[in-house]
A and B are shown apart, each in its own frame.
Chain A
Amino acid sequence: MVNVGLIGLGKMGLSHLAIVNTHPAVKLIGVCDTASYLCSILNKYTGIEVYSNYRELLDHKSLDAVIIATPSRFHGEIVREALLRNLHVFCEKPFCLDVADGLELAELADRKGVVNQVGYHYRFVGSFNEAKRLLDAQALGRLHHVRVEAYGPVVLRPKGATWRAKGSEGGGCLYDYACHAIDIVNYLVGMPAAVSGTVLNRVFSRDVDDEVYATMHFSDGMTGMIAANWSDDSLRRMSTQVTLWGTNGRMIVDRQEVKTYIRPAAGSAVVAKEGWDVRYTTDFQNDVWYYLRGEEYSAQLDHFFRCITDGRRENISSFASATQTDRVVSAMLQNAGDAKRRVDAGITMPSQSRGRSGGFMSSVKGALR
Chain B
Amino acid sequence: MSEEKARSQAMRFGDLREIIDLLDAAYDAGIHVFMCTTHDRIGEICAHVRLHPERYSKLEFYPCMPYAHKYANAVTEHGMIDALKRFLPTEGAFSALVRGGVSVATRDVEGMARLLIDAEMKMFSGLRTPVIFLQNVVTDLLLGMGVKDAFRIFSDHVRERYNAEPGFITMNLPHLLDVLEEIGIPNPVVCANINKIGFRMCGGIKLYEEEIASRRFRPVAMSVLASGAISPREAIEYVCRQKEIQSIVFGASSKQHIREIKQHIEEFDSRTKNGVAPVTSMHEASVV
Contact = CB atoms under 8 A, between A and B. Distances in A.
Contacts of B175: 22, 290
A137 interface: no
Interface string A19-56: 10110000000000001011011101111100000000
Given A21-B146, A40-B105, A161 B141 contact: no
A1 B198 CA distance: 28
A234 B8 CA distance: 11
A175 to B, nearest CB: 13
B141 A15 contact: yes
A294 B203 CA distance: 15
A270 interface: no
A35 B79 CA distance: 12
Interface stretch (B47-55, B70-78, B121-129, B251-259): B70-78
A264 to B, nearest CB: 24
A257 B137 CA distance: 22
Nearest to B108: A41
Contact of A254 (B3, B76, B202): B3
Contact of A239 (B3, B82, B137, B146): B3
Given A14-B141, A21-B144, A21-B145, A288 B202 contact: yes
A359 interface: no
B69 A45 contact: no
A289 interface: yes
A280 B76 contact: no
Contacts, number: 126
Contacts of B119: none
A236 B77 contact: no
A46 B97 contact: no
A235 B198 contact: no
Contacts of B227: 256, 280-282
B198 A41 contact: no
Interface in A212-263: 234-237, 239, 241, 254-257
Contacts of B187: none
A292 B199 contact: no
Given A154-B77, A281-B227, A291 B172 contact: yes
Contacts of A369: none
B213 interface: no
A164 interface: yes
Contact of A40 (B72, B102, B202): B102
Nearest to A45: B147
A254 B6 CA distance: 13
Interface string B1-14: 11100110010000
A45 B150 contact: yes
A18 B229 contact: no
Contact of A256 (B3, B10, B171): B3
Interface in B131-182: 137, 140-150, 171-172, 175
Interface residues of A, number: 54
A18 B10 contact: no
A18 B69 contact: no
B145 A290 contact: no
A295 B200 CA distance: 8
B29 interface: no
B202 A289 contact: yes
B147 A256 contact: no
B85 to A, nearest CB: 11
Contacts of B78: 159-162
A161 B79 contact: yes
A282 B229 contact: yes
A19 B144 contact: yes
A153 interface: yes
A38 B144 contact: no
A344 interface: no
B99 to A, nearest CB: 9
B80 A290 contact: no
B89 interface: no
A290 B197 contact: no
B145 A14 contact: yes
A236 B97 contact: no
Nearest to B79: A162
Given A21-B144, A37-B97, A162-B78, A44 B202 contact: no
B144 A17 contact: yes
Contact of B137 (A42, A45, A47, A292): A292
B105 A37 contact: yes
B286 interface: yes
A58 interface: no
Interface of B: 1-3, 6-7, 10, 69, 72-73, 75-80, 82, 97-98, 102, 105-106, 109, 137, 140-150, 171-172, 175, 197-200, 202-204, 226-229, 286
Interface of A: 10-11, 14-15, 17-19, 21-22, 35, 37-38, 40-42, 44-48, 153-157, 159-162, 164, 234-237, 239, 241, 254-257, 278, 280-283, 285, 287-293, 295
